[in-house]
Amino acid sequence: MTSDASAVEAEASRAAAEAEASRQAEATKQAEAEASRQAEATKQAEAKASRDAAAEAEASRAAAEASRQAEAFQQVEQDSFSSRGDQQIASFAGRGGSSSSDQGGSAYYSNCKEARAAGAAPLYRGEPGYRPGLDRDGDGIACEK
């Protein structure tokens, strides 16, 4: 009976070792799956961070461009205002066009679109390019809209 008991004991020991090996293999498999999930999560987080950084850079670029355009527009507007003021002063001083003529000076615009394209609109009575045909409401300001 000792040999049967030894055989049973050996079989039980072998079965326990196989069960332990199986548990360890399952634990290793689960650990690898968890590591894979974490790696995928890290990859997704890095991709999101990259997209966010690109969006932020684009927003910054767009803001800088809008600021640059606003400054350019303001400069053009300021230059236009200054130039128009110089023209009005010259007109009142007797230079740069006749203030009594409804035809303005030597500039001629066939329509308001042309005057706007030249940066001259609106045109005021007495300025070069003003003419009654461009002043719809007769208030002395042509191409005002």
Longest Cα separation, the chain: 139
Average pLDDT, rounded, for the chain: 81
Q: CA–CA separation, 104 vs 58, rounded Å?
A: 48
Is 128:97 a contact under the CB 8 Å cutoff? yes
Q: Is the peptide bond before 128 cis (omega within 30 degrees of 0)?
A: no
What are the structure tokens assigned to 49, written together? 């961070």
Half-sphere exposure in the Cβ direction for 21 (13 Å, CA): 6
What are the structure tokens assigned to 131, written together? 């003419």
Q: What is the pLDDT of residues 96-144, one digit of tens each?
A: 443 334 444 578 999 999 999 999 999 999 999 999 999 999 999 999 8
Q: CA–CA separation, 131 vs 104, rounded Å?
A: 6
Q: What is the pLDDT of residues 89-101, one digit of tens each?
A: 555 444 344 333 4
Cβ neighbours, 10 Å, residue 84: 16
Paired residues of 142 in beta bridges: 123
Predicted pLDDT at 98: 38
What are the structure tokens assigned to 57, written together? 């850079």
